[in-house]
Amino acid sequence: MEVRTRDSKQGPFTIVIKLGTSSIVHETTHQPLLSLLSSIVETVIKLKEHGHRVVLVSSGAIGVGLKRMDLPSRPKTLSGKQALAAIGQGRLIALWDNLFGQLGTPIAQILLTRGDLSDRSRYLNAVNTLSELIAMGVVPIINENDTVSVSEIKFGDNDTLSAITAAMLRADYLFLMTDVDGLYTSNPRKDPKAKRIDVVDSISAIRLQVSTQTLGSNLGTGGMETKLIAADIATGAGVTTVVASSKDPSIIFDIIQWNIHSARLSMSQTSPPHSPSPSPPIPQERPPHTSFTPSTTPMSDLKSWTFYTLTPAGTVIVDQGAYRVLSKRESGGRLLPAGVLGVRGNFASGQAVRIAVRVQQSDEERSRSRPRSPIDSPLTQPTTPTLLASMLKSTTSADGGLGLSRSSSDVIPSTSSTASLPVSGSMTPASDDEHHNTDDRGDEDTWQLLEVGRGLANYNSAAIRQVKGLKSAMIAQTLGYADSEYVAENITIRVPA
Q: Cis peptide leading into 272, omega within 30 of 0?
A: no
Res 311: pLDDT: 86
Over pLDDT 90: what percentage of the chain?
Answer: 42
- The stretches in the chain having pLDDT less than 50 are 1-5, 7-8, 152-153, 214-222, 370-387, 394-439, 442-444, 497
Res 125: pLDDT: 94
Among 354, 345, 332, CA closest to 484: 332
Res 384: pLDDT: 42
Among 142, 145, 110, CA closest to 16: 142
Q: What is d(CA 386, CA 497) in angstroms, rounded to the nearest whole number?
A: 10
Res 274: pLDDT: 53
Task: Bin 328: left if φ > 0, else alpha if -120 < ψ < 50, else beta.
Answer: beta
Res 381: pLDDT: 44
| HEC readout, the chain | CCCCCHHHCCCCCEEEEEECHHHCECCCCCCECHHHHHHHHHHHHHHHHCCCEEEEEECCHHHHHHHHHCCCCCCCCHHHHHHHHHHHHHHHHHHHHHHHHCCCCCEEEEEECHHHHHCHHHHHHHHHHHHHHHHCCCEEEEEECCCCCCHHHCCCCHHHHHHHHHHHCCCCEEEEEECCCCEECCCCCCCCCCCEECEECCHHHHCCCCCCCCCCCCCCCCCHHHHHHHHHHHHHCCCEEEEEECCCCCHHHHHHHHHHHHHHHHHHCCCCCCCCCCCCCCCCCCCCCEEECCCCCCCCHHHHHHHHCCCCCEEEEECHHHHHHHCCHHHCCCECHHHEEEEECCCCCCCEEEEEEEEECCHHHHHHCCCCCHHHCEEECCCCHHHHHHHHHCCECCCCCECCCCCHHHCCCCCCCCCCCCCCCCCCECCHHHHCCCCCCCCCCCEEEEEEEEEEECCCHHHHHHHCCCCHHHHHHHHCCCCCCCCEEEEEECCCC
Q: How many residues does the chain have?
A: 497
- The letter for the amino acid at 423 is V
Domains of the chain plus CATH, in order, are: 14-264+283-299 (3.40.1160.10), 312-362+445-493 (2.30.130.10)
Res 468: pLDDT: 96
